[in-house]
Structure 1
Amino acid sequence: MIGQRRVEEVVGERAQHVFKVLVERYLSDGAPVASKTLATQPGVDVSSATVRNIMVELESRGLVSSPHTSAGRVPTTQGLRFFVDSLLSVQPLDPEGLRKLTDELNPDMSPTELIEAASGLLAEVTRMAGLVTLPRSVQVALRQVEFLPLTANRVLVILVVNEREVQNRVIHTEREYTESELLQAANFINREYGGQTLYRVRLELLESMQADKDRMDVMMQTALDIASKAFDLVDDGGDYVVAGESNLIETPSDSEALRHLFEAFSRKRDILHLLDRCLSSDGIQLFIGDESGYEVLDDYSVVTAPYRVGGQVAGVLGVVGPTRMAYQNVIPIVDVTARILGAALDYDG
């Protein structure tokens, strides 16, 4: 299987066109597409035999697979990513859809009402599950952290946030740490992250934990290991509103996978972590299948966009739906909804 950046270089223009037609047909019908069917599509001016050869090439590149011996082909996760990044023609939101969003996200509504309305609108318009994080109107900033050793692989975390608010919590670690190790870890966290908002600290910790640990010294590894557990439990006001979960029941999906997704919606933790990762993006973020890094979303796609209040990112909204979604329609809906919601929340009357 080839790397994503090399796909366009090794797949010829004719094969790309045939692949685009295959994906569009699959997204529309939801069924494997046979070579004979592809050969009859407008713009595919080659024989069935040539299409079959192209399918073999695309399969060798990891872009399509055959669920059954003679059932035709479907795009893989890698194939859908290539399609979205290189071949997708995003459609602008039609005037009626834009008017509906503008009318129903009324600036005179309260922030809570706007968030609920946005979530409901995303679900209604896309026929998927709509998610909107609550605006972080009160930013919780880290002032100082202290780690104190307890017994049985436990550490007391003392957080000072904003000006004088103190939060205490106990975390369980994989091994016991000495008082000196904990002091060094706290000094590192205070030096690197002091003054930042807690969601920003969590975001940067997630990124640091994914870095190459071989290039970190022992003190830095210790600090990140402890801090990741400490800040994972912090309540910084992060929450989201979800609507339209029942829409997912209407889409073809594994019942066990759907049950796990509903449980994730209820627990919120994994979904919030994913949405937190989208806070630093400038525009649309798209996770297809296992790209999200969360097993519960392996059978789904997530499309998100940040919304801004006062020129600053205040939250994230998006949809969760099947990987077989109309990306060309969903992407502009999410993008425009984020812009309209931000403008409505920013309106000072």
Structure 2
Amino acid sequence: MTIQELNERSRVVFRHIVETYMQTGEPVGSRTLSRISELDLSPASIRNVMADLADAGLLYSPHTSAGRLPTQQGLRLFVDGILEIGNLTEAERADIKARCAVEGRNMEEMLGEASSMLSGLSNCAALVIAPKSDSSIKQIEFVRLGVDRALVIIVTANGMVENRAIELPPGLSDSALREASNYLNAKFAGRTLQEAKQEIQRELDNHQAQLDELTQDLIAHDIASWGGGETLIVRGHANLLQNVQALEDLEKIRELFDTLEVKKERIKLLELAEAGRGVKIFIGSENNLFSLSGTSMIISPYQNSREQVIGAIGVIGPTRLNYARIVPMVDYTAKVIGKLLD
């Protein structure tokens, strides 16, 4: 069904029911609607319209004596046919850009801040799928932070700098740290992190690396264990859990987050975001990830300067979340991230 298939009276009643539900999360009754001057209909007439909308699969009644709520099909019809997407103000755009672009942050910190910001602005959970690096490594250096810690500085061929704090094996000397740096620079030259990891692991397994035991221990337990795939960053779990009465089942929400931690599911999520351009809205079971959790997701891919999708950012909330407000937030934040990562 399309919104054009509804007559004007049905369209107005349907719009008010969905908008009221999004504000309150409660079933909407005919008496509430009869007080809206725009309708100019009696409660009996409104009930007839509501019955027709229910027959069309757009509304349902959670209890015999309750008002009506939009079905998943009804919410999809509203989002596609009635919803008016708002615009961010210049001040809001400037705030999003400033909060993402703080100097001195590495990529993961910047993406974490973007996720926290979206969570706070939307009062929902927010997620970022951070990109896997497909750029070759230009240089790698160690900076000792103390007796047992060091900062690894990785510079990629495209100019991105990534900092990682690591634990050092007990007794590792400064000369051994320099030896590790020289070894890694030789192995990383012209290779991606994943390619270098495979070569390093092969040499360590075959005892071909000409390194002392402590240096080998550093490389085997820290460098070779680094991830090279997509990273999931989630902020604002509590925002989603506090809506548990509207979402009906706390355990299903926990299952959702457990599912998101599975790498293959993150890849599926990224593929969903990549399908086409711009912001995607998934309502309830339209996305298999959320089929049991009563949630919706608004997600957008972000791209590099070559227009390649390298990650995604989005918001997860109850199906009655403020789509008109959140869609432009997600859209603009994705564009800001894409520019900052170039």
Q: Using structure 1 for the length normalisation, give the TM-score.
A: 0.67
Is 1:250 matched up with 2:239? Answer: no
Tell me how far 1:103 sits from its aligned partner.
Answer: 1.2
* Distance change >3 Å, CA 99–CA 297, structure 1 → 2: farther
1:83 to 72, 78, 83: 78
Deviation track 1:223-245 (CA, whole Å, cap 9, x = no partner) reads xxxxxxxxxxxx86122211111
Is 1:285 matched up with 2:277? Answer: no
Structure 2 counterparts to residues 164-179 of structure 1, below 5 A: none
Structure 2 counterparts to residues 126-141 of structure 1, below 5 A: 126-138=122-134
Tell me how far 1:96 sits from its aligned partner.
Answer: 3.6
Tell me how far 1:75 sits from its aligned partner.
Answer: 0.2
- What is the one-letter code of the residue matched to 1:239? T
Which residue does 1:116 correspond to in 2? 112
Which residue does 1:66 correspond to in 2? 61
Tell me how far 1:9 sits from its aligned partner.
Answer: 4.0
1:120, 1:243 within 8 Å by CA — same for their partners in 2?
yes
1:239, 1:272 within 8 Å by CA — same for their partners in 2?
no
Which residue does 1:56 correspond to in 2? 51
* Distance change >3 Å, CA 139–CA 294, structure 1 → 2: farther
Deviation track 1:266-304 (CA, whole Å, cap 9, x = no partner) reads 335424412322123210111100000235554110110
Which residue does 1:100 correspond to in 2? 95
Tell me how far 1:94 sits from its aligned partner.
Answer: 3.1
CA distance in 2, matches of 1:297, 1:334: 24
2:278, 2:301 within 8 Å by CA — same for their partners in 1?
yes
Where does the alignment leave 5 or more consecutive residues of structure 2 unmatched?
137-190, 199-226
Is 1:125 matched up with 2:125? Answer: no
1:260, 1:296 within 8 Å by CA — same for their partners in 2?
no
CA distance in 2, matches of 1:297, 1:95: 38
- What is the one-letter code of the residue matched to 2:127? L
Tell me how far 1:65 sits from its aligned partner.
Answer: 0.1
- The alignment yields a C-alpha RMSD, in angstroms, of 2.5
* Distance change >3 Å, CA 17–CA 114, structure 1 → 2: same
2:23 to 28, 45, 48: 28
1:107, 1:344 within 8 Å by CA — same for their partners in 2?
no
Which residue does 2:222 correspond to in 1? none
* Distance change >3 Å, CA 42–CA 106, structure 1 → 2: farther
Deviation track 1:71-111 (CA, whole Å, cap 9, x = no partner) reads 10000000000000000011112344322211101163322
CA distance in 2, matches of 1:284, 1:249: 24
Report sequence identity in percent: 35
CA distance in 2, matches of 1:164, 1:307: 25
Deviation track 1:111-141 (CA, whole Å, cap 9, x = no partner) reads 222111111111111111111111233179x
CA distance in 2, matches of 1:118, 1:14: 42
1:264 to 259, 262, 268: 259
1:129, 1:245 within 8 Å by CA — same for their partners in 2?
yes
Q: How many residues end up aligned between the 2 structures?
A: 254
Tell me how far 1:265 sits from its aligned partner.
Answer: 3.5
Structure 2 counterparts to residues 330-349 of structure 1, below 5 A: 330-346=326-342
* Distance change >3 Å, CA 110–CA 236, structure 1 → 2: closer
- What is the one-letter code of the residue matched to 2:241? I
- What is the one-letter code of the residue matched to 1:250? Q
- What is the one-letter code of the residue matched to 2:19? E
CA distance in 2, matches of 1:268, 1:54: 46
Q: Using structure 2 for the length normalisation, give the TM-score.
A: 0.68
Aligned partner of residue 126 in structure 2, secondary structure:
strand
Task: Please say which structure displays the higher CA radius of gyration.
Answer: 2
